[in-house]
Structure formats: C-alpha cells, structure tokens
Amino acid sequence: MRAKFPYNQPLPAALSAITQSAIPFRMDQIARFFFQQYPQGAVSLTTTTAKTKTAWDTLIAASDATKIVYSPVFSNPKITPSTPLEIGANTNATFAGLPELYDEGVIKVTGSFRSKDAPSMLSMQQLTQYSLQNTVGGSGLGLWMVNKDGYIFGDNDASTDFLPFMVYNFRTSARGSDGLNAPDICDFSFDMLPTWDANLVCVIPTAPFDPIANYAS
C-alpha cells in the first residue's frame, strides 16, 4: 500500500529501508481489458490460475456477478502519472513560497477503439453505470490490463490473490472520423486512485494461452 501522508500523529522514529527492484519491470503497450464487478465476495483468480485459459473461460461463461467480459483490442493507450496535490507554490501564502504538498492526484487512462461497429461500442456503454462513485466513495467496476504480448496486470494485495484494479467513470466517446481513408475512432477514458499501482503484479500466461489471440477482437 502506498504510504499515506501523516497528520495528527508523529513521524516514525527512523527511515524505513528502501526495497530495490528485483527485476526490470514495465507494462508496455496495454491492448485489452478484462472487466468484472468489484468487489467480489471471494477471490476469482490467483496468480497461478490466471495463467490458464480454463480459469478465464469459466468466469467469462458465468451468469452471476463473477462474470468477466473483455474489451475489443484497442490502440493509443496512455496511463498518466499522478501529479502533486499542492497549494501555495511561489506565492506569499506559504513560507518562502514553498508549496504545501498534500497527496498525489487522480490517474487518467485513455485510449482509442479503431474501426469497431456500433453494436460493439454500444455494448461497452453498460460498464459506465458500474463505474460511477457509490455512496461510500467506491466503484462497482474492476479490470485487469493485458499488454500486446499477452501479459496480464492486476492487483496482488495478498500472497496469491490476483485482483482487478478498481476504476471510476469508465466512458466511451461518440464516434469520430477524419474522413477519406481514415478509420472511425471511438475514444475511451477512466479514472483510478493514485494508489492503484501499490500492489501491481504481472502474470505471464502459460503457453499456448494468449489472452489477445484467443478471444475475438
């Protein structure tokens, strides 16, 4: 879990050790999402079962709240880094004009669906209702991210859990076109909390399972 900025309590007595990276890590180009209602009563996938097509197929075929649906393959993905939530920079409001830092800002994720027909895009609009902020400040929509090589990214808040990331305000745009010989474009976007990557983990599927190639685009 990302450390919270402390207030109304003393600082720790000593600095904690900084963990050094065990492997080079990158998400690369995200190309597909797998969606599920969030949260679940029980963990649907582990870092072991998520490597197999059988586990995903079972959840895709489900007819209850455990059901998983997958997006078409998309392009132009971008996950923006967080920006500081601060006040008073270079003004008389703070000592020496130093900003007061309070936290990190919300993450915006964007991308584009290219040349998808109307039924495909219309079906994705169902996801918006689950992603709106509820009465306790949460969202009812989670997703896993899959990159172009078929690697799957999720949240690992326990030793073997493989959970989706909670997302807010998922939306798809109305169709746009640049005209002659240009593909139709439908953009998408959603928001995530700045803590979304605190337990980020990558699962590499066991061959021949490929979560890009094995499902229709």
pLDDT, tens digit, 9 for 90 and up, residues 39-98: 999 999 999 999 999 999 999 999 999 999 999 999 999 999 999 999 999 999 999 999
Of the candidates 82, 45, 94, 77, the residue with the CA atom closest to the CA atom of residue 188: 77
Within a domain: 130: yes
The pLDDT score that the predictor gives to residue 6 is 80
Within a domain: 9: no
Task: Answer yes or no: is pLDDT of 217 > 90.
Answer: no
pLDDT in tens, 103-135: 999 999 999 999 999 999 999 999 999 999 999
Within a domain: 214: no
Within a domain: 59: yes
Of the candidates 78, 74, 83, 84, the residue with the CA atom closest to the CA atom of residue 190: 78
CA-only gyration radius of the chain, Å: 20
Within a domain: 217: no
Residue in the structure block whose two tokens are 């490597």: 51
Number of domains in the chain: 1
> What pLDDT band is residue 1 in, cutting at 50, 70 and 90?
low
Which residues constitute the domain of residue 181?
A: 30-83+96-203
Within a domain: 4: no
Within a domain: 62: yes
Within a domain: 213: no
Q: How far apart are CA 169 and CA 138, in angstroms?
A: 11
Question: What is this structure's pTM?
Answer: 0.95
Task: Answer yes or no: is pLDDT of 201 > 70.
Answer: yes
The gap from C-alpha 33 to its chain's centroid, in whole angstroms, comes to: 8
